[in-house]
A and B are shown apart, each in its own frame.
Chain A
Amino acid sequence: MTAAARSVPPVRSLSRTGRDYLSYTQVTTFQRCPLKWHFEYVAQRPHERVGAALAFGSAIHTALELHFRALLAGCTAPSGQELLCGYDQAWQADAAPPVRYGKGESARSLQAMASRVLAAFTGSPQALPGGEILGVEEELRRPILPGLPDLLARLDLIVRTDSALVIRDFKTARSRWTEANVTEAAPQLLLYGDLARPLAEELGDLAIRLEFVVLTKTRSPSVAVHPVGLDPHQLGRIRRIMTQVWHAMQTGHIYPNPSPMNCATCPFPQACRTWRG
């Protein structure tokens, strides 16, 4: 923590965002559609529906969490069937609102997909963290920007190797990631790396390595690692953007930002249509 990075009083943050912290998801939600952000974080409306891709990704994360927590606790890696049970349980929990499926999708087809994705994962080198696991779905929180609430993030996997502290974020995707996908998603990992810096310092100033691990939802799922370079200019940019978004949140200027991409997966279609402005 830098001496200058004092967070704003939580009451102010609470009254603006409904939470006493800021998350990367919250910021990107506001960027994409301020009205969705308002419904989610200020009004805290229940979701009218959930996108199948979101519920799927979340359930796969639960299965991966199960896997790495077992390894951390010195247990044998769970079998594919055990991981699929973890997926099923999370799916049931996440799919409480009506699920909006894509073309040709159903709960059953997605479960079959989950089975293939998890088999690809357990058979890949990524199932072995390659070092000492320090955190699985680990929540990190600290003030990283002066005048902003604390940044809070849940890091999928934190691994210590001999030479680096590795921050690994797992994604599910329709197809293999391109360089453009990595560039677009990089700010999230750069912020997470910044958040984890004190951990690296504690461990003898270890270098920080950032990696996306992308599991494709394809007939033959693949597992690919995409490193993200520690670019200080890019980090500075995302920090400035977060500051600007925070100021924008405080102005209370809320408006919908309709687009096929935003609206197709929005959990508040009805509330949006009836919103009077």
Chain B
Amino acid sequence: MLKLNAGLSRKVGEPDYGSRGASVNLELEVESNLVNDSDGLMDRIRRLFTLARQAVDEELGRAGPSSAPRSGGNGNGQRPVTTSQLGAIRAIAERLGVDPERVTRDVVGTGLDALTLRQASQLIDELKRRAGEPAGRSNGDRR
């Protein structure tokens, strides 16, 4: 008998510089002849990690508002930043020569990992203002 052991840990940011984490370790006994079937073995390992990932996601999703999966949503009123907003924050921060994590904490009082959709909008406006670009609800205006 062959034993597979898959472990996964994840930490998410919380308001006021806090964080919360979850980890899971799964052990599974599989047929020993799988050692001769590398594709089959890899498939079982992938499945084990998928299960571990789902368990961690569920745990973090259940425990608090800031743990919703990015863009996935859990309907709890604290929608996380979209990946597009996050990319924009990083891009503008880079242009300004500032650390995105630090400027996020300075402006909205929380880390990038815990940003909500509204906070991200507010931060993007502020960063654009600092960059001397028009901010506000019309970020599509052509220049």
Question: Which A residues lie at the B interface, using CB under 8 A?
Answer: 1, 9-11, 14-15, 20, 68-69, 71-77, 127-142, 150, 158-162, 198-199, 201-203
Is the beta-carbon distance between A133 and B142 smaller than 8 angstroms? no
- B140 A140 Cβ-Cβ under 8 A: no
Query: B1-9, B10-18, B66-74, B104-112: which one contacts chain A?
Result: B66-74
Alpha-carbon gap, A142 to B57, bound state (A): 12
Name the one of A15, A135, A202 contacting B84, with C-beta atoms under 8 angstroms. A135
On chain B, the residues within 8 Å of A131 by CB distance are 137-138, 140
- Decide: B47 and A11 in contact? CB cutoff 8 A: yes
Q: Which of A20, A141, A162 lies in contact with B71, CB distance below 8 A?
A: A141
Residues of A within 8 A of B51 (CB): 9-11
Q: Which residue of A lies closest to B50 (CB)?
A: A10
Which of B50, B69, B84, B135 contacts A72 (CB under 8 A)? B84
CA–CA, A203 and B116, complex, Å: 11
Q: Which residues of A contact B135 (CB under 8 A)?
A: 74
Extra contacts, 11 of them, besides A133-B140, A135-B85, A160-B137 (Cβ < 8 A), are A1-B73, A10-B51, A11-B47, A11-B51, A74-B135, A76-B143, A132-B138, A132-B139, A132-B140, A198-B74, A199-B82
- 1/0 per residue, CB under 8 A from A, across B55-97: the answer is 0000000000000010111110111001111011001100000
Could you give, for residues 117-143 of chain B, a 1 whenever the CB lies within 8 Å of some chain A CB and a 0 otherwise? 110010010011001011111111111
Taking CB as reference atom, which chain B residue is nearest A204? Answer: B118
Q: Which residue in chain A gives the minimum CB-CB distance to B79?
A: A202
Shortest Cβ distance from B94 into chain A, in angstroms? Answer: 9
Task: Check A137/B139 contact, CB under 8 A, given A74-B127, A202-B117.
Answer: no
Does B54 belong to the interface (CB within 8 Å)?
Answer: yes
Partner of A140, one of B50, B72, B118: B72
Contact present for A71 and B140 (CB under 8 Å): yes
Picked from B50, B75, B84, B124, the residue with its CB within 8 Å of the CB of A14 is B50
Q: Complex: how many Å from CA A134 to CA B91?
A: 15
Cβ B72 vs Cβ A142 within 8 A = yes
Identify 23 residue pairs between A and B in the complex whose beta-carbon atoms are under 8 Å apart, listed by A's number: A11-B50, A11-B51, A69-B84, A69-B87, A71-B139, A72-B88, A72-B124, A74-B92, A74-B124, A127-B142, A130-B138, A132-B121, A132-B136, A132-B137, A132-B138, A134-B117, A136-B84, A138-B71, A138-B82, A139-B71, A201-B75, A202-B79, A202-B118
By the criterion CB–CB under 8 Å, are B71 and A74 in contact? no
Among residues of B, the one whose C-beta sits closest to the C-beta of A71 is B140
Query: Contact at B82–A135, with CB atoms within 8 Å?
Result: yes
CB pair A134–B85 under 8 Å, yes or no, is yes
Distance to closest chain B CB from A82 (angstroms): 14
Distance of A127 from chain B, by nearest CB (Å): 7
Residue of B nearest to A12 (CB): B47
- Tell me if B46 counts as interface (CB < 8 A to partner A): yes
Q: Is the CB of B139 within 8 A of A74?
A: yes
Q: Are B116 and A202 in contact (CB under 8 A)?
A: yes
Q: Please, how many angstroms separate the alpha-carbon atoms of A201 and B137 in the complex?
A: 18
CA distance A139 to B118 in the complex (A): 18
Give min CB distance, A61 to chain B, whole Å: 15
On whether A141 and B139 interact (CB within 8 A), knowing A74-B128, A203-B117, the answer reads no
Q: For the complex, what is the distance from the CA of A136 to the CA of B46, rounded to whole Å?
A: 30
The smallest C-beta distance from B107 to any residue of chain A, in angstroms, reads 15
Give the distance in Å from the alpha carbon of A99 to the alpha carbon of B50 in the complex: 35
CA distance A140 to B84 in the complex (A): 11
Docked-complex contact A137 and B79, CB < 8 angstroms = no
* Residues of B with C-beta under 8 A to A14: 46-47, 50
Residue of A20, A73, A132 with most partner-chain B CB within 10 A:
A73
